[in-house]
Structures are given as structure tokens and as C-alpha cells.
Amino acid sequence: MSLRNKIINVRAEKIVFPGRSLCRCSDGIALFTEGLLPGETADVFVIKGKKTFRKALLKNITSKSAERIDPLCPSFGFCGGCSFQNASYENQIKYKQKYISELLSFTGVKISKMLISPQIWYYRNKMEFSFFDNKDIADLGLHCKGMFNRYVSVPPCFISDKDFLQAVETVKRFANKNNFTAYNNKTHEGFFRHLVLRKAGNNNQFLVNVITNAVECKPVFLEPLIKELAEFSCSVYWTSNGRKSDAVLADRLTLMCGKPFITERLNIGGKDYFFDISPFSFFQTNSKATEILYNEILRLLNPSKCSVLLDLYCGIGTIGISIAHNVKKVIGIERIGQAIDNAKENALANNVFNAEFYASDVEDWVKENKNRFDAVVIDPPRSGLTKGIIKFLIESKAKRIIYVSCNPSTLARDLQLITENGKCKIKEITPVDMFPQTYHVETVVLLEL
């Protein structure tokens, strides 16, 4: 029976990854919607129907759970940033622990208690805001949930660092005072495109990157804005981006004033490490929780039992550098050349002289190099591992493998493939909540050969 385009009443059984409410239709078919807590009932509008599942939009909650709370943000439910502000942090952890346990139940390994974030509000050290036309005013905001051509205005944003507000208001005020237009991603016209803000929270340093439509020469007309931003920022960049993609990309990146990077401090294994972060460097977005994550990696790896560590998808070298003092040698591999340059500089800044970093596609590198190593740390993108990387891990002589994942679904897929021949055993799984108020979760897995 087709229920598409019909309104039906359903009850939420539980929350599943990625933050969906799992319900059942009267015929027993699973239905997924968003915004319902376990036990709640609601009228939903069915938008998609398959043989095995349906999708629906939430219309009206008909009975509320005692677990439901009022969200702090007035844009909650519309903004794509948060998904769990309607639940206490204690219950958010409960939901995440449950869906991680269910996704990884096939491993037979008991999932460790989730390590929680020390900060649950105002924790994000990086934000990408988009310019948009808001009733003929150049406004800054975040994408609406599931929509890349509609936005919600900021402030407020209760997960971004509080200090970002000053930069947002400064740039908005300048744009409108001087009649600059916001970029339109349909017509590809307009000047201001994005505002990217980064903060080294433990060191209290601030980086601003103003992204505009393509400009052939250095925009001297932005100098008053740059001067104002420099009053509270360590680094101010201007980026020219003439591409049609809405992604934050750079045709031209120019340091307008200040240092070329900010420096974050992380305490790992009782020792302070310092990492330079440039505008497009990858760095975890929750500095306090990153310390918890990296200390857990260090504990699981037990580097006293390792000699040579292979750090795949190493980024700017944070994990490998924080372990280097405990092993004979670290080899880091990363596709992005600028990240490798940062990794080499970060190694020297932390007096790490036993680390080598190479700019290469990870799969290409492991095919060509048969270096002897006894431990691997792998922290891939959300898409997870390729079959080539999985084959390499299975055939490697590494005694210990640490898999750090930001996507439980691809992690489950990869772990099934890595362990299916029985050579590689999962020993421990620890989820880490790096992203309060959202459905996202980081997971660290220890495997042994």
C-alpha cells in the first residue's frame, strides 16, 4: 500500500544513526523521520516510499516524551547544525551510545562507555558562515537543514565559539555600510561569499578568512575591514573564489595582516604539544575533546610495545607527533601537500626529529612502500577506507592498528571487511563525543593481528 504524500500518525521506537527517528507504519515497514524522541508520537507527511522503508517529514507531535527539553537556539529544527538540542546532554550520550552499540554489535566486543566532551556549548573552534541576501541586506548564516540554497541568520549560534560573534557582526556591518552584495549560488553574482573563523582556544588565538567572488587584484577597498578585524585577530586572510561550487575553495589566498597561522596547544600524555593551523588545515573542531580523543589513542596504542608507527591520513601530523616521543620512528602520509608542510613544521616546533612526512595518495603509497612498521594509526575521511587500504592492513605485519572514525556506518562496513578472514581481531572500541548537540560521534578501535 502506497502512503506517499499522505499524513499518518507514528510512534518513534528509537534514534538511529545519523540522528533519525525510527518508527513503524501500521504494515510494519520502517519509517524514518527527524526530530522525534523515543516514545513520542506524531503526525508525519510521507515523502518517500520503498519496499523496505519510508521517509517522512515531521508535521505535529501528538504526544511528547518526558525527555524532551526546550532547545536554546530559536533556529533549532531549521538550521542544519544541531540535531539534539531537544534532549539533555545525558540523553544525547545515551542515544549515541545505543546506536554505536547496535551498529557494531556484530563485532562481539562490548563498547566502552562513551568519553564525553568537557564543553557542550560554544565548543566549535571553526565555523564556515555563508553570505546570503536577506531582504536586500547582506546577511551571514548557516545552511538550513537539507537545503544548500536557504540559510538561517546568525547570531545566535550556541555551538560556535563565543568570540566569533564579534567578527560576524563586524563583517556584516562593513558589507552593508558599503553596499556590497551577497553571493547568489544560483546566478553566481554578488561579492561576499563566506566568512571562515578559526580559534586556537587553548592559546586564545583567532584567525579570520574573508572569502569573496573572483577579484583579479588585491582588493584595497577591503583595507578598512581588514584593519578593524586585525584589532582582535592574530591572522586575517582574504580568499578569492570564482568557482561555481558552494564549497569553501581558494583560487587565490592572501595573508592581509598578522601571522600566517594560529597555534593551538594540546596536552597529550601529560605533555604540551603545539600545532600551527592555517586557513585550510584540517584540525578537530573541539579542542578540549581532542585532548581526550588523542589521549585515548595513546592509551590504546600502548606505544611502549611499538617501534615504528605508520600514521595514515596524518593531516598536519597531530596524532603522529603526539606519539613520536614514545616510539623509534613515525611515518606520516597525507594527500594534501600544504598539510604535509604544516606537519613538518609542527614536528620541528615540538622537538620531534624522528618523524617523516610524505605528500602522497595513501593507497598509492602503501602499494609502493613495504617499510617495516609494527603499528598503524589510520584516521580516514567520512567515506572510510578503500578496498586497497583494507587489503594492506590485513596483509601488514602491524601488531596493533588504531582506526579512528568519524562515521559509524563506514566504520562498521570496514571492520567487517578487515576482520572477515579471522587474522585481525577487534580488542577494544571507545566512542568519544566530539560534537555535542549533534548526532556525530568519533570512534576509536583497537585491532591486533
Q: Does 313 count as an annotated binding residue?
A: yes
pLDDT at 438: 98
pLDDT at 124: 98
Q: Please name the residues in contact with 284: beta carbons below 8 A apart, sequence gap of 6 or more.
A: 290, 293, 318, 434
pLDDT at 173: 95
Residue-wise pLDDT for 116-140, tens only, equals: 999 999 999 999 999 999 988 999 9
Residue-wise pLDDT for 210-265, tens only, equals: 999 987 777 888 999 999 999 988 899 999 998 888 788 778 899 999 999 999 99
Sequence ranges of the domains in the chain: 7-68, 98-118+282-448, 126-263
Residue for grid cell 597555534: 263
The yes-or-no verdict on residue 198 having pLDDT over 80 is: yes
Q: Does 34 count as an annotated binding residue?
A: no
Mean pLDDT value across residues 7-32: 96
pLDDT at 295: 98
Q: Please name the residues in contact with 358: beta carbons below 8 A apart, sequence gap of 6 or more.
A: 331, 332, 333, 334, 340, 365
pLDDT at 88: 98
Q: Which three cell numbers stand for residue 250?
A: 581558494
7-68 is a CATH 2.40.50.140 domain: yes
CA pair distance 59, 196, nearest whole angstrom: 34
Residue-wise pLDDT for 289-335, tens only, equals: 999 999 999 999 998 778 999 999 999 999 999 999 999 999 999 99
- Do domains 7-68 and 126-263 share one topology? The answer is yes
Q: Residue 401 — very low, low, confident or very high, per pLDDT cuts 50/70/90?
A: very high
Amino acid at site 241 = N
Mean pLDDT value across residues 51-69: 96
Return phi, psi of residue 173, to 5°.
-60, -45
Express as a percent the part of the chain with pLDDT over 70. Answer: 99
Query: Rounded to the nearest 10 degrees, what angle do helices 408-419 and 89-103 cross at?
Result: 30
The CATH number of the domain covering residues in 98-118+282-448: 3.40.50.150
pLDDT at 152: 95
Q: Which three cell numbers stand for residue 414?
A: 570496514
Mean pLDDT value across residues 174-201: 93
Question: Would you tell me how many other CB atoms lie within 10 Å of the CB of residue 112?
Answer: 17
314 is catalytic: no
Q: Does 67 count as an annotated binding residue?
A: no
Fold of 126-263: OB fold (Dihydrolipoamide Acetyltransferase, E2P) (2.40.50)
Express as a percent the part of the chain with pLDDT over 90. Answer: 84
The yes-or-no verdict on residue 355 having pLDDT over 80 is: yes
Q: Which residue has the higher pLDDT, 145 or 124?
A: 124
- State the virtual CA torsion across 113, 117, 118, 124 in degrees, nearest 10: 180
Q: Which of 25, 157, 234, 406 is catalytic?
A: 406
Alpha helices in 350-386 (DSSP H): 362-368
CA pair distance 221, 351, nearest whole angstrom: 42
Give the chain's count of helices (H) and strands (E).
9, 21
Mean pLDDT value across residues 10-25: 97
Give the strand pairing for 375-378 and 400-405: parallel
Spatial contact of 122 and 160, defined as CB atoms under 8 Å apart: yes
Q: Does 237 count as an annotated binding residue?
A: no
Give the pTM: 0.94
CA pair distance 366, 430, nearest whole angstrom: 27
Question: Would you tell me how many other CB atoms lie within 10 Å of the CB of residue 216?
Answer: 8
Mean pLDDT value across residues 406-420: 97
Mean pLDDT value across residues 400-421: 96
CA pair distance 166, 246, nearest whole angstrom: 24
